[in-house]
Structure 1
Amino acid sequence: MLVVARRRLFSLPKLPSLASSEPQTHSVSRVIQGSHQHVYRVVSAVDEYRQFIPFVEDSFINQRTNEGVPTEGGLRIGWQQFEERFVCQLECVPGQSVVAQSMTTALFDELYTKWQFTPMGPHMTKVDLNLKYKFKNPMYNAVSSMFSDQVTQIMIRAFEDRVKATPNPVAEGETNQQK
């Protein structure tokens, strides 16, 4: 009798069910260097996302209040063969929070993003990012669930790097006033 042992050289990760009806949720908290006003300005400048966030091919703001606060904006995302554009209603509370909710129904059943900024001293801010989404396309849900934790970390790191790389007008004004 001949017995043949088989061993797989590699195995594929278990894919989530394509029929999942629950939205995916992710939360990240991080304390970063920068005032809460400065962090808010970076996050609310949706039209600049294409300059520093991976996979963002285009970013735009369609509407602002009379005070210049964004109320509608969007992104065009590209990755390998995927490319999608969506528009969000924005609710910005200067220095405190930015909420984005998808208005585009072709891509998402649901998209809700909330950034919250808590001062932790003059030049430190606690950033809480809460993301809840469900794509209309079940394949997008399956693919995104495999990479969402990494993408969330990449995204918050991109914002953290942007805060460090951009001048903080408030801090510069404080420095100039102290001279």
Structure 2
Amino acid sequence: MPQFSKSVRVPYSGEQAFELVSDIRRYPDFIKWITAMRVSDEVRKPDGGFDCVGDAVVGFKGFVERFSTRVEGDPEEGVVTATLIKGPFRKLKAQWRILAADKHGSDISLNIDYDFKNPFIGMLAAANHDLAVSKILSAFMAEAGRRYGSPAS
């Protein structure tokens, strides 16, 4: 069962990073293989946290898959977690952790633990997961630049 994580220091505040990662409705705008996202059952909490269901359509190299996750965000802890409801996985848990490092940046880690039902798709994903995670993080960095501007040097 593949599991991987990657951490990166970003030149954006913890609040900005949390806001970006939490904005799952807009993922199709900047992550090219997420072709559609529907958010339902959304509950906003007084502390700024949230709980919702995200239904995604993902297309990659001729494959199209749909899956649903429960997404929970806790801004005080700096955590956004997505867990599988249904889809092509036996198991899926993705967790972002955002830690404000200083006034000039944050440390972000992405941990994903998954297992596909289809062994062929699982092998394909395992062979490409480092590249996929790098592309995801690059897409988030590019979107952060568009939303928040280039960080001050």
Question: Structure 1-normalised TM-score?
Answer: 0.76
- For residue 145 of structure 2, the aligned residue among 164, 167, 171 is 164
Q: Which runs of 5+ in 1 are unaligned?
A: 1-22, 169-179
Structure with max Cα Rg: 1
Partner of 1:50: 28
Separation (CA, whole Å) in 2 of partners of 1:29 and 1:84: 27
Partner of 2:128: 147
Separation (CA, whole Å) in 2 of partners of 1:33 and 1:135: 34
Question: Structure 2-normalised TM-score?
Answer: 0.89
- For residue 104 of structure 2, the aligned residue among 108, 111, 123 is 123
Q: Which runs of 5+ in 2 are unaligned?
A: none
Say if 1:44 and 1:70, in contact at 8 Å, map to a contact too. no
Question: Aligned with 2:142: secondary structure?
Answer: helix
Structure with greater strand percent:
2
Give the 4+ runs in structure 1 shifted more than 6 A: none
Separation (CA, whole Å) in 2 of partners of 1:53 and 1:66: 24
Separation (CA, whole Å) in 2 of partners of 1:109 and 1:66: 29
For residues 117-158 of structure 1, give each alpha carbon's deviation from its aligned partner in whole angstroms, at most 9, with x where no partner exists.
001111301001101110101110011111111001100111
Percent of pairs with identical residues: 23
For residues 67-104 of structure 1, give each alpha carbon's deviation from its aligned partner in whole angstroms, at most 9, with x where no partner exists.
47242113110012200111101121025010000100
RMSD of aligned Cα (Å)? 1.5
